[in-house]
Amino acid sequence: MRSFRAFVTKEWKHIFRDKKTLLILFGMPIAQMLIFGFALSNEVKNSKIAILDASRDATTQALIHRIDASKYFDIATYLDRKDQVEEIFKKGEVRMVVVFENGFEHKLKSQNEGHIQLIADASDPNVGSTLVAYLNAILQDYQNEILHPSKIPYSFKTEVRMIFNPQLAAAFNFVPGVMAMILLLICSLMTSVAIVREKEMGNMEVLLVSPVRPVLVIVSKTIPYLFLSFVNICSILLLSYFVLDVPVKGNLFLLLTISLLFIIAALSLGMFVSSLAQTQTTAMFATLVGLFLPTLMFSGFMFPIDNMPLPLQLVSNLIPSKWFFYMVKSVMIKGLGIADIWKEALILLGMTLFMVTVSIRKFDKRLKL
C-alpha cells in the first residue's frame, strides 16, 4: 500500500508540475460551459427574410409590419422581381421570401381572397418548416382579426402547460448535454494519453515489473485525474446554477454521486483506449476523432434518439454520455430520485467494470509475453 501511495504521489507531482496543462484543464470546461450555455439553442429566431410585394397597399404594409415586429423574422431586403428569389437564396443569407400578389388588397376586398406565397429555402429543413409555421401563425392571427369574431359557438378551450421548464429555456437541455460531452472527452483524453505516454517513452515495462501490481500502476495514474475531474464537475455545476440559471431540483448529493460515477466511467474509457493504442497520437486521434461526433450525436440532447433508425438506437446505448445525460436531466431538471435512475446508473457501472477488466487483462498479458 505504501508503494501504491508513492505511485499516486509521483503522478500527482507530475501533473501539478505542468502548470500550462492545469490551466487548460480547469479553464477549458468553464469557458465551454459559458459559451455553449449561452449560445446554443434549437430555437429559430431573427431569420432574415425578403419581401416581394407587387401590391404595396395598406393591407400588405400592415402585414409586413407585423412580420417585422415578430422576433422570428428580420426583413433583410425587398425584391422587385420573381427571378431575384433564386439569386438571393444562392447568396445564402435570406431564409424565406414572402410574396404578395399584385392588387392584394383589392382582391381581398372584392373577391374575398388574397394570395400570399411563402417560399422557404429548405436546404435546412428544420429552419425552413419552422419559419413557414411561424409565418402561417402570424397571418392566421391577422385573419382572425379581420373576421371580427364574437364568441365562436361549439368550441373547446385548450390549455397547454409546459412542465419542468415553463420558460422553455434552451440551457435546461443543453447544459446537461454539454456537461456529458465535456466530461467524457476530457477525462478519457487525459487518462488515455497519460498511460500511452509511458508506453511510448518505454517506461511502461519498468512500471509493470515494479513491486506494485499492474492494476495499481494503472489505477494510480487515474486517481489524480479523478480528483481534477471532480473539481471540474463542481465548477461546472456552480456555473450552471449561478450564471446560467439552470436549477438543481433534485438532491445535490445524488447529482454529485452520479457525476462521480460518470467520471469513473470516462476514466476507464480512457484506460480502455490506452490498452489498445500504442502511441499518443493514436490514442488522441481515437478519442478525439473517434468519440467526439458519436458522443455529440448519440447523447440525445442534440437529436432525439427516438427519431433514429433502430440499429442506430441500439448503437446509442453504447455511448456512456447518453446514460449520464438522462440521469442529469432527471435529477437536475425534473427533480427525480434514485428510484427513477438506478437502472441507468447500473448500466454505466456495468460499462465501467467491463472496460476496466478488459484493459487490466491487456496490461497483465503484456507483462507475461
Q: Which 165-204 residues touch another protein, going by CB under 8 A?
A: 165-170, 172-173, 181-182, 185-186, 189-190, 193-194, 197
Q: Examine residue 150 and tell whether it contacts another protein (CB under 8 A).
A: no
Q: How far is CA 253 from CA 127, 192, 258, 260, 332, in A?
A: 40, 29, 9, 10, 11
Q: Examine residue 136 and tell whether it contacts another protein (CB under 8 A).
A: yes
Which of 130, 321 has the CB closer to another protein? Answer: 130
Which of 160, 369 has the CB closer to another protein? Answer: 160
Of the ranges 233-241, 261-269, 303-311, 345-353, which one interacts with another protein (CB under 8 A)?
A: 303-311
| Residues whose CB is less than 8 angstroms from the CB of residue 181 and which lie 6 or more positions away in sequence, other chains included | 295, 296, 299, 321
Show contacts with another protein in window 221-260 (CB under 8 A): none
Side-chain-side CA neighbours of 103 within 13 Å: the count stands at 7
Show contacts with another protein in window 61-90 (CB under 8 A): 86, 89-90
Helix (H) or strand (E) holding 267: helix 252-276
Which of 211, 309 has the CB closer to another protein? Answer: 309
Q: How far is CA 250 from CA 110, 148, 256, in A?
A: 61, 48, 11
Show contacts with another protein in window 18-57 (CB under 8 A): 18, 20-21, 24-25, 28, 31-32, 35-36, 38-48
The site for another protein, by CB under 8 A, has a size of 122
Question: Rounded CA gap, 262 and 325, in Å?
Answer: 10
Which of 90, 368 has the CB closer to another protein? Answer: 90
Of the ranges 16-24, 224-232, 254-262, 353-361, which one interacts with another protein (CB under 8 A)?
A: 16-24
The binder of another protein chosen from 253, 304, 368, 369 (CB under 8 A)? 304
Question: Rounded CA gap, 191 and 266, in Å?
Answer: 9
The binder of another protein chosen from 281, 314, 346, 353 (CB under 8 A)? 281
Side-chain-side CA neighbours of 292 within 13 Å: the count stands at 7
Of the ranges 50-58, 226-234, 257-265, 327-335, which one interacts with another protein (CB under 8 A)?
A: 327-335
Which of 315, 349 has the CB closer to another protein? Answer: 315
CB of 328 to another protein, least distance (A): 11
Show contacts with another protein in window 91-120 (CB under 8 A): 91-92, 108-109, 112-120
Q: Examine residue 153 and tell whether it contacts another protein (CB under 8 A).
A: yes
Question: Rounded CA gap, 221 and 7, in Å?
Answer: 8
Handedness of CA 309, 315, 317, 323 (dihedral sign): negative
Q: Which residue has the cell 422553455?
A: 168
CB of 118 to another protein, least distance (A): 4
Q: Examine residue 346 and tell whether it contacts another protein (CB under 8 A).
A: no
Which of 210, 282 has the CB closer to another protein? Answer: 282
Which of 4, 247 has the CB closer to another protein? Answer: 247
Question: Rounded CA gap, 292 and 183, in Å?
Answer: 12
**Cβ 301 vs Cβ 177: under 8 Å:** yes
**CA 366 to centroid of chain Cα atoms:** 38
Question: Rounded CA gap, 6 and 283, in Å?
Answer: 27
**Cβ 321 vs Cβ 153: under 8 Å:** no
Q: Examine residue 14 and tell whether it contacts another protein (CB under 8 A).
A: no
CB of 211 to another protein, least distance (A): 28
DSSP 276-344: H-SSHHHHHHHHHHHHHHHHHHHSSSSS-GGGS-HHHHHHHTT-HHHHHHHHHIIIIIS---HHHHHHH
Which of 9, 126 has the CB closer to another protein? Answer: 126
The binder of another protein chosen from 259, 330, 352, 359 (CB under 8 A)? 330
CB of 210 to another protein, least distance (A): 23
